[in-house]
């Protein structure tokens, strides 16, 4: 969207955004800030992985903060509140991406997608992408037991086997975990993702390369701290200052209570 806005400004074309709900709501912000030297096609603006804004709000922020200067018109929603879960809208689920087939998958996605660039199957080519993960070298029960002993809020880990038909380890039998959301209000998907990454690095140091997650975590410092053995909960707590700074920028562009 940001790049399309840049082109519309260049060619003096009015840009309309028909706003729609953020499937994950508009309150929970998670993750490190994207490193500025890692801005790319899928990381347009330095912000956390989970930013709690609608497309219309993002467009307003991009236009002003990046000084795009396009003739932007956001057609705002009526009746949406930041605290609304998607079901509250009364709308049928429409997959924002072909592999995000449910709200549960969308809730887990911010923490699970960081692993897919590190040679881990995240369930692409199965019936439940982003609700399970694995690899041929993982021992399912060992990983599930270890993660459950960590008491990660809002989620339970169940050992499983699956054969993905796409993505890493295509057509190979994988062992891994299915992720069961037990309380979505207390689920912090980025903390969950760091806990899983730390577990894989601890249990399978010769197979799992934490450096492979940098592309989608977007923060070299976060991965360096995991490699050093810092506790995921401490790393997450240390994001607070930069998240608060982002909130101050974000507040100027919010459209909904």
Examine the pLDDT at 214 and tell me if it is beyond 90: no
**89 and 161 within one domain:** no
What CATH number does residue 212 fall under?
3.90.1150.140
Token pair belonging to 95: 């997959």
Least confident of 31-35, 70-74, 106-110, 229-233: 31-35
- φ, ψ at 15 (rounded to 5°): -115, 120
Residues 107 and 194 reside in one and the same domain: yes
Residue with tokens 């295509």: 170
Is the residue at 224 inside a domain?
A: no
Confidence (pLDDT) at 46: 94
pLDDT for res 234: 98
How far is residue 246's CA from residue 119's CA, in Å, rounded to a whole number? Answer: 31
Task: Indicate the pLDDT class of residue 51, thresholds 50, 70 and 90.
Answer: very high
Same domain, 70 and 131: no
Residue 147: is its pLDDT beyond 90? yes
Provide mean pLDDT across the span 247-256: 98
Total number of domains in the chain: 2
Rounded to whole angstroms, the Cα distance separating 111 from 225 reads 17
Instruction: Note whether 200 and 118 are same-domain residues.
Output: yes
Only one residue has tokens 């605290």, namely 83
Residue indicated by tokens 């200052």: 241
Task: Please indicate, yes or no, whether residues 111 and 212 belong to a single structural domain of this protein.
Answer: yes
Q: Do 89 and 132 belong together in one domain?
A: no
- The answer to whether the CB of 121 falls within 8 A of the CB of 133 is yes
91 has a pLDDT exceeding 90: yes
pLDDT tens digits along 166-205: 999 999 999 999 999 999 999 999 999 999 999 999 999 9
The helices-and-strands tally (H runs, E runs) of the chain is 9, 5
Q: How far apart are CA 159 and CA 133, in angstroms?
A: 10
On whether both 61 and 83 belong to a single domain, the answer is yes
pLDDT tens readout for residues 92-122 = 999 999 999 999 999 999 999 999 889 999 9
**247 or 39, higher pLDDT:** 247
Between CA 156 and CA 184 the distance in angstroms is 11
- Indicate if 54 and 131 belong to the same structural domain: no
Residues 89 and 109 in one domain: no
Q: Model confidence at 255, in pLDDT bands (50, 70, 90)? A: very high
Q: Is residue 108 part of a domain?
A: yes
**Mean of per-residue pLDDT scores for the chain:** 96
Nearest 10 degrees: CA dihedral of 177, 183, 186, 190?
30
Residues 120 and 26 in one domain: no
74 and 156 assigned to the same domain = no
Residue 223 included in any domain: no
Q: Is residue 234 part of a domain?
A: no
38: CATH: 3.40.50.12170
Strands of the sheet containing 132-135, edge to edge, are 132-135, 174-181, 155-162
What separation in angstroms does the CA of 195 have from each of 8, 62, 126, 159?
Answer: 42, 32, 23, 16
Same domain, 113 and 201: yes
- Predicted model pTM: 0.94
pLDDT of residue 148: 99
Per-residue pLDDT for 216 more than 90? no
Domain range spanning residue 111? 103-218
């Amino acid at each position: 969207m940001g790049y399309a806005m840049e082109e519309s400004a260049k060619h003096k074309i009015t840009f309309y955004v028909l706003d729609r709900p953020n499937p994950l709501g508009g309150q929970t912000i998670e993750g490190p800030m994207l490193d500025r030297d890692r801005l790319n096609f899928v990381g347009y603006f330095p912000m956390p992985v989970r930013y709690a804004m609608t497309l219309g709000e993002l467009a307003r922020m991009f236009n002003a903060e990046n000084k795009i200067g396009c003739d932007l018109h956001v057609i705002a929603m009526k009746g949406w509140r930041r605290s609304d879960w998607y079901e509250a809208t009364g709308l049928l689920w429409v997959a924002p991406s072909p592999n995000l087939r449910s709200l549960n998958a969308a809730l887990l996605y911010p923490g699970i997608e960081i692993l897919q660039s590190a040679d881990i199957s995240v369930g692409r080519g199965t019936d439940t992408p982003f609700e399970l993960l694995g690899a041929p070298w993982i021992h399912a029960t060992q990983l599930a037991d270890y993660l459950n002993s960590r008491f990660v809020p809002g989620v339970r880990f169940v050992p499983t086997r699956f054969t993905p038909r796409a993505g890493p380890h295509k057509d190979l039998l994988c062992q891994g975990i299915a992720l069961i959301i037990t309380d979505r209000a207390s689920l912090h998907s980025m903390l969950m993702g760091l806990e899983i990454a730390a577990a894989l690095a601890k249990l399978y140091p010769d197979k799992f390369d934490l450096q492979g997650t940098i592309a989608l975590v977007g923060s070299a410092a976060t991965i360096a701290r995991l490699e050093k053995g810092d506790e995921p909960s401490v790393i997450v707590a240390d994001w607070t200052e930069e998240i608060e700074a982002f909130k101050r920028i974000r507040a100027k562009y919010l459209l909904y209570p």
